[in-house]
Amino acid sequence: MASTEIARQAGEGARAVPLAGHVGFDSMPDQLVNKSVNHGFCFNILCVGETGLGKSTLMDTLFNTKFEGEPTQHNQPGVTLKSNTYELQESNVRLKLTVVNTVGFGDQINKEDSYKSIVEFIDAQFEAYLQEELKIKRTLHSYHDTRIHACLYFIAPTGHSLKSLDLVTMKKLDSKVNIIPIVAKSDAISKSELAKFKIKITSELVSNGVQIYQFPTDDESVAEINSTMNSHLPFAVVGSTEEVKIGNKMVKARQYPWGTVQVENENHCDFVKLREMLIRVNMEDLREQTHTRHYELYRRCKLEEMGFKDTDPDSKPFSLQETYEAKRNEFMGELQKKEEEMRQMFVQRVKEKEAELKEAEKELHEKFDRLKKLHQDEKKKVEDKRKSLDDELNMFKQKKTAAELLQNQAQQAGGSTTLKRDKERKK
């Protein structure tokens, strides 16, 4: 008689009443399931791991099909993510599966920024969903959800411990996505080494505070199997799409001179466990955790970054409208301020330039005045010169006139004198 979440929420205010017959709402889960099946499911897996750890092969093996892609080389300059979406169908269940692979992870000399493209990718999917959720006219029920539901982290089968790149990357990812660490190509490790390796890995994860995905144990129908599986983490897997005849069956296996590793043999590797947990038992829980935990965390951080709060300083809850209006007022105020600032700046410049120009004008005026004075001086000089010349000319003229007059008189007198002398001679 476990109480459901609804019942817990109801609390007081709802009383339990007995039913006098079969009403029929026990078909609700079926109705819900029918709707989901009609709508189709979607699941997105991210595979993180160094080049050559068998990521693509494992995906092919898990989903019993050959996905796209050629093996990548080791010479990638940075980490990029390549994703492919496939539409799969099994009985009446349609699944839109997106497989995202990291290309070039671990190949660079300097791996400090390797985790960044992965984190950016995961955040971008959250952001896309958040934007859709915030739209005014939105279509959430037909939105193609691209958020990553599970991250398979491929650990290289060194047999010793985790690489520092692994620890750094997983630490950056553990609050954003459900991490399921797996030991890749585990047919390179012997059973005893593997046990030690698993213990070492788990203890390193714990001591570094990395939160990996735990299979849920709160639902009784799956609690037992999930808790057993939790103790087998990380899963040591082998992938293969080639088939070998064992007994009278064709099984997926890898053939070595010393024996054949059967993928689906639980003694050989944990592949079956991984498939069971990832797909058959907990797929829905992985989707739910992504939505209710990781996405909510991203959303909360993003909204807080943008300045949204749930309560004002007096602890009264904000309504959505108030929040948006406040934001909008702030925004408008900002724009106005910017406008004002720009105008002010221009006013300032104009003032400065005006002052400059006034200075130049003043200088020019002064120059003009100087030249004018100079010119006047020169003019005066010329005038003086002219005047003195005129005076001289006048004087000369006077002198000349006076001299001529004298001469005339003298001549006349001389003439008369001459006449007198002549007359005297004659006498």
Output the smallest distance, CB 76 to another protein, in A.
11
CB 200 within 8 A of CB 160: yes
Residue 402 lies near another protein (rule: CB under 8 A): no
User: Nearer Cβ to another protein, position 153 or 197?
Assistant: 153
CA-wise closest residue to 64 among 250, 281, 228, 215:
250
Residue 77 lies near another protein (rule: CB under 8 A): no
Residues 78-97 that bind another protein (CB under 8 A): 78, 80-93, 95-96
Site string for another protein, 314-343 (x = CB under 8 A): ---x-xxx-xxx-xxx-xx--xx-xx--x-
Q: Judged by CB under 8 A, which of 246, 346, 405, 419 binds another protein? A: 346
Q: What are the angstrom distances between the C-alpha of 27 and each of 10, 33, 40?
A: 21, 10, 20
User: Nearer Cβ to another protein, position 199 or 297?
Assistant: 297
Angle between helices 164-173 and 114-134 (to 10 degrees): 10
Residues 23-62 that bind another protein (CB under 8 A): 23-37, 41, 43, 62
Q: With b meaning 16 or more CB within 10 Å and e meaning fewer, what string describes 304-324?
A: eeeeeeeeeeeeeeeeeeebe
CB 166 within 8 A of CB 102: no
Task: Give the whole-angstrom CA distance, residue 33 versus residue 85.
Answer: 23
Residue 195 lies near another protein (rule: CB under 8 A): no
User: Nearer Cβ to another protein, position 74 or 331?
Assistant: 331
The window from 64-72, 150-158, 186-194, 203-211 that contacts another protein (CB under 8 A) reads: 64-72
Task: Give the whole-angstrom CA distance, residue 295 versus residue 140.
Answer: 15
Output the smallest distance, CB 1 to another protein, in A.
9
Q: Judged by CB under 8 A, which of 131, 158, 344, 398 binds another protein? A: 131
Residues 221-240 that bind another protein (CB under 8 A): 221-222
Site string for another protein, 364-383 (x = CB under 8 A): x--xx--x---x--xx--x-
Q: Judged by CB under 8 A, which of 402, 403, 413, 419 binds another protein? A: 403
| Plot region of 302 (φ>0 → left; ψ -120 to 50 → alpha; else → beta) | alpha
Listed in sequence order, the residues at least 6 apart from 384 whose beta carbon sits closer than 8 Å to its beta carbon are: none
The window from 151-159, 176-184, 231-239, 358-366 that contacts another protein (CB under 8 A) reads: 358-366
Rg (CA), the chain: 51
Q: How many chain residues touch another protein (CB under 8 A)? A: 135
Q: Judged by CB under 8 A, which of 223, 355, 389, 405 binds another protein? A: 389
- Secondary structure E strands in 209-297: 235-236, 243-246, 249-256, 259-262
Residue 128 lies near another protein (rule: CB under 8 A): no
CB 79 within 8 A of CB 119: no
Residues 262-321 that bind another protein (CB under 8 A): 275-276, 279-285, 288, 296, 299-300, 303-304, 306, 308-310, 317, 319-321
CB 88 within 8 A of CB 120: no
Q: Judged by CB under 8 A, which of 13, 209, 247, 313 binds another protein? A: 13
Task: Give the whole-angstrom CA distance, residue 152 versus residue 183.
Answer: 10
Sign of the dihedral defined by the CA atoms of residues 60, 65, 68, 73, in that order: positive
Sign of the dihedral defined by the CA atoms of residues 260, 265, 267, 271, in that order: positive
The window from 19-27, 153-161, 200-208, 229-237 that contacts another protein (CB under 8 A) reads: 19-27
Output the smallest distance, CB 327 to another protein, in A.
7
What is the distance between the terminal CA atoms of the chain, rounded to a whole angstrom? 193
Q: Judged by CB under 8 A, which of 206, 223, 350, 419 binds another protein? A: 350
- Measured in degrees and rounded to the nearest 5, phi and psi for residue 311 equal -135, 150
Output the smallest distance, CB 163 to another protein, in A.
24
Output the smallest distance, CB 365 to another protein, in A.
9
Q: With b meaning 16 or more CB within 10 Å and e meaning fewer, what string describes 154-168?
A: bbbbeeeebeebbbb
Q: Judged by CB under 8 A, which of 138, 191, 232, 351 binds another protein? A: 138
Output the smallest distance, CB 233 to another protein, in A.
19
Site string for another protein, 144-173 (x = CB under 8 A): ------------------------------
* Amino acid (one-letter) located at 416: S
User: Nearer Cβ to another protein, position 221 or 231?
Assistant: 221
Q: Six-digit token pair at 218?
A: 């709160």
User: Nearer Cβ to another protein, position 74 or 369?
Assistant: 369
